[in-house]
Amino acid sequence: MNLKKAFFEAVALRDAAKNTGRTYWACLVKFYQFIRKPASQWTGPDVERWLIELHRLDFAPKSRKQALCALVFCFKHVLKRDLGTLNLPPMPKERQTLKTIPTREELGRIFAGLRGQVKLMAGLMYGSGLRIGECCKLRVQDIDIEARTVRIWNGKGDKSRLTVLAEAVTPSLRRHIEWRRSLHEMDAANGCGLVELPRRLAMKYKSAHRELRWQWLFPSTVIRGQYRWHTTDESVAKQMRAAVKAAGIIKRITPHTLRHAFATHAMQSGNDPRTVQDLLGHENLTTTMIYLHADAARGFSPMDVAPPRIAVNGRNNLMMLA
């Protein structure tokens, strides 16, 4: 049996998200590297040994749950075998992580160090709350400047949504779309200018893969055959790292941090949490509420209150730090 082929066929039959399938497959590869046995010989005790090893190596709870889910899926839907009862160590509670949120002043310094389409992409991620993968896969028609909206198709969890388009980025966006039009015309003149379409749309609309509206908004410099692809997450992250370093900021700031900053600053600006939830595409309001107090601890330090007077050698003095 070709395990990889059978596995991805099972993923497709159950309409699971592509990212989930890729994550599960990566777990199965690591499991095979640990036990060194063909899939036909995998057993419940093998799974038990591996998960105990992950516990011993102090893997994060999320990673251990992913590994278990991947193996349960594979045994149930691919190998068609029962895992049996597993004697596993208790799964620890997932620790709440603290979000790193840059200030608006820090964001300004980072943006000053970005150039070209990456600067515009960063503006969309912060101004519209986009994930980096969503931003890379935007098509020209997903931007509605007049309605001030951005359409996200098949985002995380294969969900689609509408989010706001910041007015501050619209002048740059208009210029970028005109540049994209010129690039597409040049590609078409050179016998290229095609783009891959989702699912079976290429069969339904025979000429759509040549139209400007379906082209990737943020193209790659690479052309394969007649097709120009979109820019990659890593190319954006690389420029972000350089801009953060040049700005002298020691916080860990990534492209996804811009989405965190959107959520936090949007609620601090007076947006209703439910509205921000819809704009971000969160399934649970609890996830959105994490960002309400994400950028700073609330309350005040006693050191910032008027310092108390203390008696030193019979005289009243202020307690001060040198």
- Catalytic residue positions? 131, 156, 256, 259, 282, 291
Please provide residue 223's backbone torsions phi and psi, each rounded to the nearest 5 degrees. Answer: -115, 125
d(CA 218, CA 230): 6
186 contacts: CB under 8 Å, gap ≥ 6: none
Radius of gyration of the chain from its Cα atoms, rounded to whole angstroms: 26
Q: Is 227 left (phi over 0), alpha (psi -120 to 50) or beta?
A: beta
Residue that is written with structure tokens 């509420």 in the block: 289
**And the tokens for 251?**
């916080």
